[in-house]
Amino acid sequence: MSAVTGPASATSGQQISVSVTVCNQGTVGGSAPVEVYLSADATITPNGPTGPSPDFFVGYAGSPYLNAGQCQVLTVSGPAYASTEGAYYLGAVVDPQNSLSELIENNNTLTGSRIGVGNRPDFIVSAASSASSVKLSQTLTVSVTVCNQGTVGGNAPVEVYLSADSTITPNGPTGPSPDFFVGYVSLPYLNPGQCQVLTVSGPASVPTTGLYYAGAVVDPQSSIAELIDDNNTRAGTRVSVTP
């Protein structure tokens, strides 16, 4: 398989459709079934003769006959059942019972995109952009696009930082950020699937001139229960801070 993609979120038990690209990189043609699972980790394990999978079965599809070198995009649909709310990997397995003799037997699974399952919001920063340069301590204005890709509405604060690297770290209860705070704004209530462009302005106060990333964090204190908690930051434009 070369790709597994699906929706960003679903309520527990909601029907979802997952796109799976299956390829035959062998020397002769053949066909095999494909199964899709939700997994709490990046290892996709199918149900088998030795026992049930620790992952959560979504659905299956029969693969059409594929000639050597041929690929096919399949749609697999089924319910997004999981034991607890939170983040899961979408993954697929072709020939899940190893019933076919293949040239390579240990390359039949692929972990794809993540999905949040449950009844919570899931805020992401999809873009952070600013001017490419600013004078030291002068006002920097950053445009931040925040989206709610969860299953229920909500809101959260947004903070902007200048960072020497592409990892944006907010101030928190364990200590101050290694990055340099620019400003913040309150995010209006966002329904599921809704996005909002916000403007955050503040001084470009950094210890030395040079190149920095203008980055943003939504829900910087992790005070809101979200479907996925580690996707709230984004590094945007590289800004030259000049004397």
Please list the pLDDT of the chain residue by residue as tens digits (243 residues): 899 999 999 999 999 999 999 999 999 999 999 999 999 999 999 998 778 999 999 999 988 899 999 999 999 999 999 999 999 999 999 999 888 888 888 899 999 999 999 999 999 999 999 999 999 999 999 999 999 999 999 999 999 999 999 999 999 877 899 999 999 999 999 999 999 999 999 999 999 999 999 999 999 999 999 999 999 999 999 999 999
- Reduce the DSSP state of residue 185 to 3 states and report it: strand
Query: CA 171: distance to chain centroid?
Result: 23
Query: Would you state the structure tokens that stand for residue 155, as one six-digit string?
Result: 């809101």
Ordered structural domains, the chain, with CATH: 3-117 (2.60.40.10), 123-242 (2.60.40.10)
Question: What single-letter DSSP state applies at residue 63?
Answer: P
pLDDT of residue 51: 85
Q: In what order do the strands lie in the sheet with 3-5?
A: 3-5, 15-23, 71-79
pLDDT of residue 101: 84
The DSSP secondary structure of 61-114, one letter per residue, reads: EEPPPB-TT-EEEEEEEEE---SSSEEEEEEEEESTT--S--S-SS--EEEEEE
User: Residue 69 contacts by C-beta under 8 Å, 6 or more apart in sequence?
Assistant: 23, 24, 25
Determine how β-strand 86-94 pairs with β-strand 33-39.
antiparallel
